[in-house]
Chains A and B, each alone.
Chain A
Amino acid sequence: MRKQLVLQPRIKETGLQLIKGYNFAYLDEGTKRMIRRAILKAVAVPGHQVPFGSREMPLPLGWGTGGIQITASLIGPDDILKVIDQGSDDTTNAVSIRRFFTQTTGVRSTEKTWMATLIQTRHRIPETPLRAGQIIIFQVPIPEPLRFLEPRETETRKMHGLSEYGVMYIKLYEDISIHGHIATAYMYPVMVHNRYVASPSPIPRFDNTKMNRMPALQLFGAGREKRIYAIPPYTTVKSLDFEDHPFEIEKWDHCCALCGSGESYLDEIVTDDQGGRLFVCSDTDYCQERRAVGHKGSLPDAVKMAITRVKRGD
């Protein structure tokens, strides 16, 4: 994805204090139980959207209140939380959500994928493979993959019930007709456990392959639409495609300019107005971990430091 670099002050996380007067993780225990029951149902029927009584959260809708409510209902004192937004732990959105939880629970947070027990994310799945016991929680704006062709909720429910998924192929058909290949880049629909078609949330299709047989539990929360769905560990997840146009992930002609990785999802960064551009890992934690153990990209070190600062918004 092409990123517009906006320099914004980094929110300082020093001096965080637990906010008094609220329950642990903000939601009351009854609400958390209600959400956990919905999660259990969702886990029992992989890919099936379960309605839940979405609550008001002290963050604006569109900030991922569905995912936040799932995290709030699951988080315990021993958890270590990681929050990602656009692959980065340091965007305003990620910082605000992380601060919300550290202030309402006192739990530890981390940027290290391997260290986290709960990972709340928008737009990405970390490059570092997730392991058994971890939970990744996706923020979902539009949970219904059939919505773009069928506005009626009663009808979409019936279509899921009867596995009437022919319409899902219309978009892919039109992609190939117009672009010669499947051009859908985000929210690329998946078939979960050979039964329910689900939206993977607005992650790039690059990340779809990570969903298949992932050892971690994947949970999806849509706050405005009041839906939760789940992909239990080691579940088969297949991206929809045609026999003669099989699913493919994005590829780049470049490696990451910072860490040299040729296997990660790259962001394009425009460096000047003469068409200069660079490709760097979208997953900042992954990139830093690689550099920490000595991997190098093509850029001189001084430039790398400057770019890292710009990406982090310092």
Chain B
Amino acid sequence: MSVHDEGPLLKVMGVTKYFGSRVGCRDVSFDLWPGEVLGIVGESGSGKTTLLSSLSGYLEPSTGTVKYWMGQEGLVDVGRLSDPQRRYLMRTEWGMVRQNPREGLRMRVSAGANVGERLMALGARHYGKIRSEVFKWLDRVEIDLGRVDDSPETFSGGMLQRLQIARNLVTKPRLVLMDEPTGGLDVSVQARLLDLMRSLVSELGLSLIIVTHDLAVVRLLAHRLLVMRNGEVVESGLTDQVLDDPHHAYTQLLVSSVIQP
């Protein structure tokens, strides 16, 4: 992980995604700085997941560019990377945590193999070292080390999500994208996951983009917020400002309908 202080890690400029004539997201721009956590909030259908997919290269934006800081090469247009370069980036410097951990994990191999895979993909060929990294990360995400060789099929929802996080963080990515990471979990399980995420973010200096409909999540984690509605950003700013003093009528509605944690 190299620190750079020359500018943003990610520069998103005018990203627009159409599905036919329907707008997925329109004209979204923001900078993400190293170590910054950006929350993207909105109801379902607001375009936040489309935006996340466009950032990760999973969807190709109709217009607009996403630039990522690649050290020596400076800010590089992610859309113009070759397929091998993009795939390499996705398994080294980027992480992706999905709402449904089953989509982000290999459910047919052991928990330990799930965590070790990215290391092996990057060329780790010493079993003992891989194994000890696996233990370190299972411990870090509070999974009982006795479960290391168990199938994820035997894990609870909260454990699966923590396993998915360990699988992504084991290679120390610089940028992690999360799509509703607490979705579908019980409130007490959510709270534990949020605590864990908060300590990991500060410990690792991660840059994080977290998409959620849950304002409690972003209040706890995000430095800055984008509020999306109908595919557009209607308000943005520091998290506390946006949540405590919302300017846009839609944000006011969102905030008022939320039970404070």
Query: A residues bordering B, Cβ < 8 Å?
Result: 149, 158, 162, 164, 166-167, 169-170, 173-174, 176-178, 242-245
Question: A158 to chain B: which residues have CB within 8 Å?
Answer: 83, 87
Q: Is the interface of B mostly helix, strand, loop or mixed?
A: helix
Q: Are A166 and B120 in contact (CB under 8 A)?
A: yes
CA distance A178 to B109 in the complex (A): 12
Known contacts: A164-B121, A166-B117, A166-B120. The answer to whether A174 contacts B110 by CB under 8 A is: yes
Q: Are A174 and B127 in contact (CB under 8 A)?
A: no
Known contacts: A149-B109, A173-B113. The answer to whether A162 contacts B87 by CB under 8 A is: yes
| Closest-CB distance, B81 to chain A (whole angstroms) | 13
Could you show 18 A-B contacts with beta carbons less than 8 Å apart? A149-B106, A149-B109, A162-B83, A162-B84, A164-B87, A166-B122, A166-B123, A167-B121, A170-B116, A170-B117, A173-B116, A173-B127, A174-B109, A177-B148, A178-B149, A242-B125, A244-B126, A245-B127
Q: Quick one: closest B residue to A149, CB to CB?
A: B106
Question: A242 to chain B: which residues have CB within 8 Å?
Answer: 125-127, 130
Question: A166 to chain B: which residues have CB within 8 Å?
Answer: 117-118, 120-123
Q: Quick one: closest B residue to A170, CB to CB?
A: B113
Interface string of B45-77 (1 = CB under 8 A from A): 000000000000000000000000000000000
Q: Are B120 and A170 in contact (CB under 8 A)?
A: yes
CA distance A174 to B110 in the complex (A): 7
| Closest-CB distance, B92 to chain A (whole angstroms) | 11
Question: B118 to chain A: which residues have CB within 8 Å?
Answer: 166
Question: A167 to chain B: which residues have CB within 8 Å?
Answer: 117, 120-121
User: How many residues on chain B are close to A (CB under 8 Å)?
Assistant: 24
Question: B87 to chain A: which residues have CB within 8 Å?
Answer: 158, 162, 164
Query: B residues bordering A, Cβ < 8 Å?
Result: 83-84, 87, 106, 108-110, 112-113, 116-118, 120-123, 125-128, 130-131, 148-149
Question: A162 to chain B: which residues have CB within 8 Å?
Answer: 83-84, 87
Question: B126 to chain A: which residues have CB within 8 Å?
Answer: 242-244
- Sorted nearest first, the 5 A-B pairs with minimum C-beta distance are A166-B121, A242-B127, A166-B120, A169-B120, A243-B126
CA distance A304 to B144 in the complex (A): 56
CA distance A242 to B119 in the complex (A): 13
Question: A164 to chain B: which residues have CB within 8 Å?
Answer: 87, 121
Q: A242-B126, A243-B127, A244-B128 are in contact. List 16 more A-B contacts (CB 8 A).
A: A149-B109, A162-B83, A162-B87, A164-B87, A170-B106, A170-B116, A170-B117, A173-B113, A173-B116, A174-B113, A174-B149, A176-B127, A177-B110, A177-B112, A177-B149, A178-B149
Known contacts: A158-B83, A162-B84. The answer to whether A170 contacts B127 by CB under 8 A is: no
Q: Quick one: closest A residue to B106, CB to CB?
A: A149
Q: Are A244 and B113 in contact (CB under 8 A)?
A: no
Q: Quick one: closest A residue to B149, CB to CB?
A: A177
CA distance A22 to B131 in the complex (A): 59
Q: Are B148 and A169 in contact (CB under 8 A)?
A: no
Question: B148 to chain A: which residues have CB within 8 Å?
Answer: 177
CA distance A244 to B127 in the complex (A): 6
Question: B110 to chain A: which residues have CB within 8 Å?
Answer: 174, 177
Question: B116 to chain A: which residues have CB within 8 Å?
Answer: 170, 173
| Closest-CB distance, B145 to chain A (whole angstroms) | 12
| Closest-CB distance, B128 to chain A (whole angstroms) | 5
CA distance A174 to B109 in the complex (A): 8
Q: Quick one: closest B residue to A169, CB to CB?
A: B120
| Closest-CB distance, A218 to chain B (whole angstroms) | 26
| Closest-CB distance, A179 to chain B (whole angstroms) | 11
CA distance A245 to B121 in the complex (A): 18
Question: B121 to chain A: which residues have CB within 8 Å?
Answer: 164, 166-167
| Closest-CB distance, B132 to chain A (whole angstroms) | 11
Question: A245 to chain B: which residues have CB within 8 Å?
Answer: 127
CA distance A82 to B61 in the complex (A): 59
| Closest-CB distance, B191 to chain A (whole angstroms) | 32
Known contacts: A166-B117, A166-B120, A243-B125. The answer to whether A173 contacts B112 by CB under 8 A is: yes
Question: A174 to chain B: which residues have CB within 8 Å?
Answer: 109-110, 112-113, 149
Question: B113 to chain A: which residues have CB within 8 Å?
Answer: 170, 173-174, 177
Q: Are A170 and B109 in contact (CB under 8 A)?
A: yes
Q: Are B130 and A173 in contact (CB under 8 A)?
A: yes
Q: Quick one: closest B residue to A163, CB to CB?
A: B84
Query: Which of B122, B125, B131 neighbours the largest number of chain A CB atoms within 10 Å of its CB?
Result: B125
Q: Are B125 and A169 in contact (CB under 8 A)?
A: yes
